Amino acid sequence: MVRNTRRVFAASVAAAAMLAASAAQAEDVKIGFLGGFTGPIESLVPPIFNGAELAVTHVNEQGGILDGELQLVQGDTTCADTTAAAGAADRMVNSENVTALVGPLCSGATIAAANTAAIPGGVMLISPAATSPALTELEDNDLVFRTTPSDAYQGEMLAKTLRGDGVESIAISYVNNDYGKGFADALASAFEAQGGTVAANEAHEDGKADYRAEVGSLAAAGAEMLVVLAYADGSGQTILRQAIEGGDFSRFAGGDGMVSGALIPAVGEGRLDGMIATRAGSNETPGTEVFNKLAEEAGVDPNGTYVAQSYDAAFLIALAIQQNGSGDREGLSEALRAVASAPGEMILPGEWEKARQLIAEGTDINYEGASGSHEFDDNGDVPGVILRMEVEGDEFAEVGQVE
């Protein structure tokens, strides 16, 4: 009896030791989300954050990451204040000790966060919404990626949209930052190359209460349409409202920063009917329909601006961490390129358990995302789809893909 008891006890100790060793190998991993929760895009940010949060939920509901839990912490860049963006990134990199970052969302904030904290700290970031062509030229040690196309492409597609509608001349008012300038330059070049006239192309500072002088200068150029490349919760809505009140323009267009449900009630329902805008959309890949269903089940709008791109950024980071085999920062960008690119067995949104099993078996995977195939080029950029949007009543309605 004593011997048997000792054997049982010894077996129990061995089992406990094995469990302890297994628990020691488990690793919780922390990633960050940086977005303009306050500032000129604050109405756009909550759905984008929800997209990333949904990806984290899928990971944790299907066994977690590295046998631990994936944690998502957030920081506010304000979008407009690069000092705030740098500070938020510094906290994520050096205090929160995140493995990787989703975001920031605005281009200037992304460049500031990358240069001051992420790149020096060896932290990979994937922005779902930063579109400035300037990101392509960053000396980033292969750490800066994005799941949305550059404004070099969106500017060309907006120009094509306007010329296709017979617009002969435009005046451009752009917010004076990396996003606005890059977009305006791309639009102006493409519009003129397609036979149109850019009567005026002028920068404005965000955060002012009165833009009547700027609007008057643009109107004096005699263009038939005003294109506002700014933010719906900032200068963009003020410029539109004052242009309408002053009778300076009656036809308007904008970029992705203007596509917000908050814009129309702020300016006045019925006053922007027919306004044209462009924003990034989703390629019709096998993952698109799957994501739409998963998002709707979770109460997340799959068609929200940059929601699908945000989901993909977070899910890709998780896949790269699992592929890398640890929560370490080193080697993560190489792992990202491996899981995002063909060849490999296809992984769709929500298929975390399948991905974990394949990675454990040493099988190559290829993520086909909610917003498309993310075959990153040497600069961390992806091709993409640009959608035409139009104001109808109290919302922007999707018209279709610009081709």
Could you count the other beta carbons within 10 Å of the beta carbon of residue 225? Answer: 21
pLDDT at 14: 38
With a CB cutoff of 8 Å and minimum separation 6, the contacts of 201 are 171, 172, 174, 184, 188
Residue 389, φ and ψ in degrees, nearest 5: -120, 150
Could you count the other beta carbons within 10 Å of the beta carbon of residue 283? Answer: 19
pLDDT at residue 46 is higher than 70: yes
The string of pLDDT tens digits covering residues 58-80 is 999 999 999 899 999 999 999 99
Query: Residue 98 carries which DSSP code?
Result: -
pTM above 0.85, yes or no: yes
**Model confidence at 82, in pLDDT bands (50, 70, 90)?**
very high
Q: State how far the alpha carbon of 192 is from the alpha carbons of 134, 182, 189, 314, 325, in Å.
A: 21, 16, 5, 38, 50
Say whether 181 sits in a helix, a strand or coil. helix
The string of pLDDT tens digits covering residues 183-233 is 999 999 999 999 999 999 999 999 999 999 999 999 999 999 999 999 999
User: What would the mean pLDDT of 101-122 be, rounded to a whole number?
Assistant: 98
Asked if residue 208 lies in contact with residue 234, where contact means CB atoms within 8 angstroms, the answer is: no
Domains of the chain: 27-149+283-367 (3.40.50.2300), 152-281+385-401 (3.40.50.2300)
**Model confidence at 27, in pLDDT bands (50, 70, 90)?**
confident
Cα torsion at 213, 217, 222, 223 (round to 10°)? -80
User: Which tokens hold the place of 288?
Assistant: 């698109």
